[in-house]
């Protein structure tokens, strides 16, 4: 039957890519997290120097630095998880400390540029389309930032 096919709307592939890696809870571990995250994004087709890559670099750097500075528990690593689908890049950075927890986007309202603490979350708030703080099982917290991807 050689009939005509109905026109269909273009669809994005449903592939979801995930990268998970633990890093030492040190400044060196935070730097390595940023480098490996950008390497992985490039391998997934988000090229170095693109707007999404540059924004992801800043977000991973800030969240990892916060985790090793404020969430450090001696002997425990931080974990970075990237999740990329056709619409969103999700960046999760987890640490083992449940206290000293940012309250989420509403916590940046009281931070001024002159403040000694909390300014990094202003950067996260400005760059991410969404962000929040979640409990981590069995212990600790995860700070998540999401970027909406431009249509392809």
* Alpha carbons 49 and 38: distance in angstroms, whole number: 10
pLDDT, residue 139, reads: 85
pLDDT in tens, 75-89: 789 999 999 999 999
Residues 6+ apart with CB under 8 A from 144: 90, 91, 92, 130, 131, 132, 133, 134
pLDDT in tens, 91-127: 999 998 866 555 555 555 555 666 666 677 888 999 9
- List the beta strands (DSSP E) in the chain: 17-23, 78-84, 88-95, 130-135, 141-148
pLDDT, residue 137, reads: 83
pLDDT, residue 8, reads: 57
Domains of the chain in sequence order? 17-148 (3.30.565.10)
| Residue-wise burial string across 79-100, b where 16 or more C-beta atoms lie within 10 A, e elsewhere | bbbbbbeeeebbbbbbbbbeee
Dihedrals φ, ψ of 26, to 5°?
Answer: -140, 165
Name the strand (E) or helix (H) holding 55: helix 51-70
pLDDT, residue 1, reads: 46
Q: Output the CA–CA distances (angstroms, integers) from residue 38 to 53, 89, 102, 111, in the order listed.
A: 7, 12, 25, 29
């Amino acid at each position: 039957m050689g009939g005509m096919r109905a026109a269909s709307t273009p669809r994005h592939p449903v592939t979801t890519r995930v990268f998970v890696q633990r890093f030492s809870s040190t400044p060196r571990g935070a730097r390595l997290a940023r480098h490996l995250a950008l390497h992985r994004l490039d391998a997934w087709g988000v090229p170095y120097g693109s707007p999404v890559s540059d924004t992801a670099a800043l977000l991973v750097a800030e969240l990892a630095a916060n985790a090793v500075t404020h969430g450090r528990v001696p002997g425990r690593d931080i974990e970075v998880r990237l999740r990329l689908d056709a619409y969103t890049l999700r960046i999760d950075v987890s640490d083992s400390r449940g206290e000293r927890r940012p309250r989420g986007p509403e916590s940046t309202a009281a931070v001024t540029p002159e403040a000694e603490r909390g300014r990094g979350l202003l950067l996260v708030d400005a760059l991410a389309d969404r962000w929040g703080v979640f409990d981590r099982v069995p212990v600790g917290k995860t700070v998540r930032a999401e970027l909406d991807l431009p249509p392809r």
